[in-house]
Structure 1
């Protein structure tokens, strides 16, 4: 269990702001465990876990039960409005206000897209985005350029956006829940060490 390869799937947001802390801890304690990270949507992650081509996945919740997989809640982060700094915007962003703005959103295959669609629907809106992307850093770059507004999770400990972006809370509030998924049954020791590091991150 002190050496081995662990294949992990996650979204770009989790990879950028959450996984580095766990990976750094693992390298200190178990330098011979090779964590191979794949950028995947939650559905892709669950499919690969079921196929046996992944060992651990970070997925958006809720998810329907998948035979042979264990899925447990890990953390909940607020979804914030990311806006160009030169826009005049209210202190809290509502569906009515945001639906009138040019939008940069995740594509419809993602759980986050469905969550945001439900948030807009509460106010009776179904806005059409200017562009759909699944890479958060690319989305933020477009926001900074003034191309549009975005709704993204803001993980605790993540760095603040650059000076050309402002973040505003939503009204009503919205959050994105993440879970840890792995195959049910006996767990290889190297995989268990990765899971332990992820659960320790939750406790911080």
Structure 2
């Protein structure tokens, strides 16, 4: 059996979506006899009836539905392959896959994307919510282009991690609690706590901060969504340790107490990507814009 023809597959999907041969022909800018030929050749190649013709509309058979479902993925993969060639060739157009945590997406990434849109409107950034470890793994596998990750990270071959930003960690305490002006591990360890998810770098950072002072508290709940953690703190459910983001946290000062830690603790972020020789032009442009927001 010969390989599937993607044009014929696209025709079948258009018929499934639009319900008639004529509508599919119009959408695909094909003559209606060409649409009919695509389907007959596809059915002949597969040895299965794919569409059922009615008096006014056409429906796909169970075999056709199975092919349509998988065909959508095949066409998407084909489009991504073509897009990858265009990104490499043109540099200013294309899609860049970026992974980072929810906190970075909410607090830091919007201003970066705004600047990128102004300077390189042809570049589309696809953002995935990922922990730092998963982002590094996907970078190594080639399924991610850029990761905004907590540092330090274990070195991985052909990956580059450069410093980007630093954020002081703060104690977020319910508004009605009596808290010291500077929050120590000894005081915080006795309070109900909300930690980040145990798989995150922020969790390990907090645990090490307590451990260095001889404490090992347990959390009431672990989450991986900073806004939800802040909301639980505001509701009095517990205290948390989160990075300070002045632009976002101004609105939270009225709902929670945001207090410095003693000893101080800092979360550091880096830009992770493949080395320059393996980066396409669109990814390089996004990295350049990210560096514009690097703390000096």
Q: Please, what TM-score do these two structures have when normalized by structure 2?
A: 0.67
The alignment of Structure 1 onto Structure 2 pairs a total of residues equal to 204
Is 1:123 the counterpart of 2:213 in the alignment? Answer: yes
Is 1:58 the counterpart of 2:126? The answer is no
4+ residue runs of structure 1 moved beyond 4 angstroms?
A: none
- By percentage of residues, which structure has more helix? 2
CA deviation after TM superposition for structure 1 residue 53, in Å: 0.7
Residues 1:145 and 2:235 aligned together:
yes
Establish whether residue 191 from structure 1 lines up as the match of residue 283 from structure 2. Answer: yes
**Selected match of 1:35 from 125, 147, 154:** 125
Give 1:3 shift.
1.1
Partner Cα distance (1:60, 1:132) in 2? 18
Cα separation, 2, equivalents of 1:63 and 1:155: 22
Q: Is residue 200 of structure 2 the alignment partner of residue 110 of structure 1?
A: yes
2:259 to 168, 192, 202: 168
SS at match of 2:294: helix
The structure with the largest strand share of the pair is 1
Q: Per-residue deviation at 1:15?
A: 0.6
CA RMSD in angstroms comes to 1.2
Q: For structure 2, which runs of at least 5 residues remain unmatched after alignment? A: 1-90
TM-score using structure 1 length: 0.96
- Which digits, 9 at most, give the CA deviation of each residue in 1:39-93, with x for residues without a partner? 0000010011011111000010111101121111111110000011111100000
* Mapped contact 1:8–1:38 kept (Cα < 8 A): yes
Higher relative contact order (CA 8 A, sep 6+): 1
Q: Hey, what does 1:200 align to over in structure 2?
A: 292
- 1:22 is aligned to 112
SS across alignment from 2:268 = strand
- TM-superposed CA distance for 1:130, in Å, is 0.1
Long gaps (5+) in structure 1: none
2:165 touches 2:294 (CA, 8 Å); kept in 1?
A: yes
Instruction: Confirm or deny: 8 A CA contact 2:171 2:259 kept in the other structure.
Output: yes
| 2:164–2:295 CA contact under 8 A, matched in 1 | no
